[in-house]
Structure 1
């Protein structure tokens, strides 16, 4: 029986197959495959999405914080660029699956962990996203609180004034997120130009007050030997990779709406590394300038904002709030809300998932994570990169090496289907994850193996790829030769038909 149809490289369920699984406990309107009509995102939509997410305060703090750790400007810029080029690879590899089959991340995870086991990678991703949600909310809170103190000095005397701002700003974030993923396109198109222009203005200020490029570029590296530099470089590189390792996993949540593979590949390949590198350079340049202007490196933009007049603080706060809202809705709510929704698709909605995400973000104490740069890049970014690297590796290995881009879409929504494995769990995925996480952890326990932990994402990714591919080599869930063609109607694109008619 033909259950799916492929057109221009995009696969959808047939009407008959949709009717068969629409009452399944694994199906709801958010988790179902997208229709051809819903594949409406053009390249420009992915470009503005990434620009809007890259032009955020955590990008600024990550880059400029490397100056505080002792790097000079070109060492920091090089680290940022290399890290983003590396993480772009798994992003594009996982984007292909989302675009071709129109499935969100939790459904994609059913392939490699089973319909129940999928909760392991999706909830792991959800915890990280919730942490980022809290970090961005805390950054916005600091900016708003700074504005209020500068404008109304008595505000600082109000007990718990920062907590009050945090609760109100948290509620604003949740309120926007509750409206769902479609708000992302509109929010990104507004935020990208506003934050971009503001960044250029900040760079101009830094140049004029620091006396041009000279003082910025002349700030030397504080490392006396290559060994000293590498001790900071490798964990910093892992932090840069870990920064978007989250999106590398749940990028299908967005690419399931792509018009074509080409549009999303070109747009993402250009917008992510270029935007991150340019914006990071601005953060680095401004932080280097603060050493000249104020005598110390101020890597926190909120602290820098506090040194300006109230009107400038007002404008800066608006920019920071817009930036925080954009990345929170785009990068930090969709994945956990979907993961929570996947726990009980027939009862839990995306909106409820968004609210639970916000509550969990508070429990992760973002004020502690952001209290110093060591907590941020070595603790937060490094730790979750060690967890997400192996999951990224399993996803890539399953789709590209094990299944070779062929799967039975309908079976992803069958509780006892081919992707249920044993009682809903794929033990091979669990084994690969455990091994992929355990080996880098040895670097924490054995000093001579420290390089394993400093490069946890990279080692975890390749280890899990090898282990998972080996364990799945004879798995019954993999389609046999010719089976994909038996269940798939392949439609010839209209323009190809016209071309054939012309030649005939």
Structure 2
């Protein structure tokens, strides 16, 4: 099979000379094929708005609120979240580069280091985690709808008979919100971009209004900022800070892998990089401040830390205020959920069976799995939410990020053969479509990162001594361990293989 040529444009972006060259590949379809240059038109604002929409959401709010509930004061929680998001921005921008340069989504990018078939390992790992997040966000949005209707319809709605521990009307709200999101994803990526552009600013206004209200009720910022830390700045704080920091980083560890799904539409490397740098750390720091002040204010006003903004909004007496506030919460959830948790697994599932699943049908698969994972259990407790859910999968995905960064920047030096990413028997076919080096690096990195996973007694699913006791100390640093070990292991294996190939070539007899 003839390999198509690629054209390198003056700005460094690459496309196939014949865009239809991979159309008949068994490993390609219209969504997985490289984005054509005229379609790479996302601007700095589009990426900033995308991140504003994704970061201004209730689970982001719950991160900071959860740290306050776990005993940190406003400054400690803010520092942990801000540092975490500055750290995760680095691998995010490193992996984004390939999307803009080659116009390819994450699972196709992964083929260069895992093999055309082997890429399904990191892609499906990412996809199933996204399904969990989709379910969490959909449950939160369903709760907001449930509260809104309850304020308007009265106790008959709120106190409806229970099914599975929750009112049947809550299940109905959850289902309605699920359908709403499926309709948006069915309309495609451009509909998502338009939605993010106008919804993101409204969401910011809603969270600001919630903070202003609680500050007024508390009698100003003074009583809020004077709330002492229950941990101090000694050993108790640092014991909680390390796993919390890994949780904050892990919150966006998924996007640090699959940002090529969005940067493939970038107008230039500069536009996507600046847009992300402006959008992610600033917005997450802002939502952290809003959440910390609001949650600390609930301690002053109500005598307890109310970490869930939906529960807080339900305490408002004015039904008009409740409805406006929770409509904003619903928009916040949709802007994040569809972009962060449906786009990626749609590509990932499509990559597994490209001739059977399109972007849209794969999105429906994501939605169904997001229900089956029972998200209401994951978000029921902040310690499980931050340490078990975020900490564990963050370590898994970090090892994949390490492989991608080492492979793209140090082994391949950012040079990929675009057509070979779709062709069996080509450069990225390796052994039957699998590159064992990427698999081994991922397994080793994941094992060291999460092999020692532990839970405090009665606070999670893991044994108190860790799954593998001698690895327990590493679990508090799961994301960092996974990233470094995956990076180093792949780099050593790939460089060793390259040296062996060079030596074999030099030793070949001359005729």
Calculate the TM-score normalised by the size of structure 1. 0.92
Which of 470, 476, 481 aligns to 2:492? It is 470
| Partner deviation per Cα, 1:116-173 (whole Å, 9 max, x = no partner) | 1111100110011111111110001111111222222211343311111111111111
Task: Tell me the residue number matched to 1:64.
Answer: 65
Q: Does 1:237 align with 2:245?
A: yes
Moved more, 125-134 or 177-186: 177-186
Judge conservation of contact 1:418–1:477 (CA < 8 Å) in 2: no
Judge conservation of contact 2:4–2:419 (CA < 8 Å) in 1: no
1:390 to 1:292, Cα distance in 2 relative to 1, 3 A: same
Judge conservation of contact 2:184–2:192 (CA < 8 Å) in 1: no
Moved more, 148-157 or 197-206: 148-157
Q: Does 1:175 align with 2:191?
A: no
1:476 to 1:102, Cα distance in 2 relative to 1, 3 A: farther
1:10 to 1:200, Cα distance in 2 relative to 1, 3 A: same
Q: How far apart in 2 are the matches of 1:336 and 1:296?
A: 38
Which of 277, 280, 301 aligns to 1:272? It is 280
Which of 470, 483, 492 aligns to 1:461? It is 483
Task: Tell me the residue number matched to 1:79.
Answer: 80
Task: Tell me the residue number matched to 2:92.
Answer: 91
| Partner deviation per Cα, 1:434-457 (whole Å, 9 max, x = no partner) | 100111234333667533101101
Q: State the SS of the aligned residue for 2:495.
A: coil
| Partner deviation per Cα, 1:348-394 (whole Å, 9 max, x = no partner) | 11111011101101111110011111121011111110110101111
Q: CA deviation at 1:21?
A: 2.4
Q: CA deviation at 1:2?
A: 7.4
Q: How far apart in 2 are the matches of 1:477 and 1:418?
A: 17
Matches within 5 A, 1:395-474: 395-444=404-453, 445=466, 449-474=471-496
Matches within 5 A, 1:105-504: 105-152=106-153, 153-159=155-161, 160-224=168-232, 226-308=234-316, 309-444=318-453, 445=466, 449-475=471-497
Q: How far apart in 2 are the matches of 1:249 and 1:381?
A: 15
Q: How far apart in 1 are the matches of 2:500 and 2:112?
A: 10
Structure 1: gaps of 5 or more residues:
481-504
Runs of 4+ aligned structure 1 residues displaced above 6 Å come to 476-480
Q: State the SS of the aligned residue for 2:414.
A: coil
| Partner deviation per Cα, 1:382-429 (whole Å, 9 max, x = no partner) | 111011010111111110011010111110010221101101111001
Task: Tell me the residue number matched to 1:3.
Answer: 5
1:191 to 1:350, Cα distance in 2 relative to 1, 3 A: same
Matches within 5 A, 1:25-36: 25-36=26-37
Q: How far apart in 2 are the matches of 1:148 and 1:238?
A: 37
| Partner deviation per Cα, 1:469-488 (whole Å, 9 max, x = no partner) | 010115479999xxxxxxxx
Q: How far apart in 2 are the matches of 1:431 and 1:151?
A: 56
Q: How far apart in 2 are the matches of 1:29 and 1:138?
A: 32
Judge conservation of contact 2:22–2:33 (CA < 8 Å) in 1: no
Judge conservation of contact 2:246–2:394 (CA < 8 Å) in 1: yes
| Partner deviation per Cα, 1:185-228 (whole Å, 9 max, x = no partner) | 11111211101111221121122111111111111111146211
1:72 to 1:224, Cα distance in 2 relative to 1, 3 A: closer
| Partner deviation per Cα, 1:273-331 (whole Å, 9 max, x = no partner) | 01100111000000000000000000101110110121111111211111111111110
1:169 to 1:477, Cα distance in 2 relative to 1, 3 A: farther
Q: How far apart in 2 are the matches of 1:245 and 1:321?
A: 24
1:207 to 1:271, Cα distance in 2 relative to 1, 3 A: same
Q: How far apart in 2 are the matches of 1:224 and 1:337?
A: 45
RMSD: 1.8
Q: How far apart in 1 are the matches of 2:473 and 2:289?
A: 27
1:400 to 1:198, Cα distance in 2 relative to 1, 3 A: same
Q: CA deviation at 1:347?
A: 2.2
Q: How far apart in 1 are the matches of 2:185 and 2:174?
A: 16
Judge conservation of contact 2:296–2:305 (CA < 8 Å) in 1: yes
1:479 to 1:104, Cα distance in 2 relative to 1, 3 A: farther
Judge conservation of contact 1:49–1:184 (CA < 8 Å) in 2: no
Aligned residue pairs: how many? 478
Q: State the SS of the aligned residue for 1:473.
A: helix
